[in-house]
Amino acid sequence: MKDFYYQLKVKEFHDGEYCSGDFWGRATLKGIVEAESSKQAREIIKKDILNREIKRGDDVLLSVLEITPNREYLREFFKPRTCLFCGRIWTPATTEYYGEYCCRACYEQHVIKKRQEENEIFMSSDWNENFPVIYRIHDKKNDKNYIGQTIRAFTLRWWEHYKSWIQRVEGTSITDFEFSILEIFPKNTSKETLSSREQFYIEKYDSLNNGYNNRNEKTETKEEECQN
């Protein structure tokens, strides 16, 4: 015996009449039957499941496919799943969605609402404004680094570096450099904390002695304190 997948579609009904042409809607019925052949499977479906004959030009469309090794995915339609939103047990064969939701309502309430909430968070002032960061510019040709800090948009700072010195180096392309964020801080982070962390990365990457930094945050901070 072989397994056969079947689905039944009907012509779309609009304004009291069937739509013209061969326009069919979604499958209204799906299942799996055992039979010796496709022909026998059709007879079983028509007799035991639909209780009617189906002829050419009829208002229903019956499709039958043998579940071969490359069609094993068809069995997934009939495996029970748990809806991520409401927790109801369902099978994809009973819904138009083949994801993790049992119906359109659950999909919309869970997925669309979640996207809206994420968008609202992104557009809120906390995310729309800039956070202080420590960043690194890495010269891939010679493995030298520049470490910096900024409370402005880091993309703007990267562009300023590129315009001020990177593009002026003969034979250098923007693709020779890599910009990355090393650390992000809350908005109320003090200048002293930022400078201390900047100095930590300057020492870590040795960007003062073997890189593009030309100032020592630790030394300059101490000199400023003495002068004050």
Look at 1-5, 16-20, 211-215 and tell me which has the smallest mean pLDDT.
16-20
Average pLDDT over residues 11-26: 60
- Give the tens place of pLDDT for each residue, 85-108: 889 998 888 777 657 888 888 888
Residue 138 CB coordination number (10 Å): 19
10 with 103, same domain: the answer is yes
CATH of the domain at 217: 3.40.1440.10
11 with 99, same domain: the answer is yes
Q: State residue 33's pLDDT score.
A: 94
- Give the tens place of pLDDT for each residue, 143-191: 999 999 999 888 888 888 888 888 777 777 888 899 999 999 998 899 9
Q: What total of structural domains would you count in the chain?
A: 2
106 with 140, same domain: the answer is no
Q: State residue 109's pLDDT score.
A: 81
Does 41 fall in a domain?
Answer: yes
143 with 218, same domain: the answer is yes
DSSP H stretches of helix in 70-190: 104-107, 113-123, 125-128, 154-161
Does 145 fall in a domain?
Answer: yes
What's the token pair of residue 173? 């392309």
What proportions of the chain, in percent to the nearest 5, are helix, strand and coil?
40, 25, 35
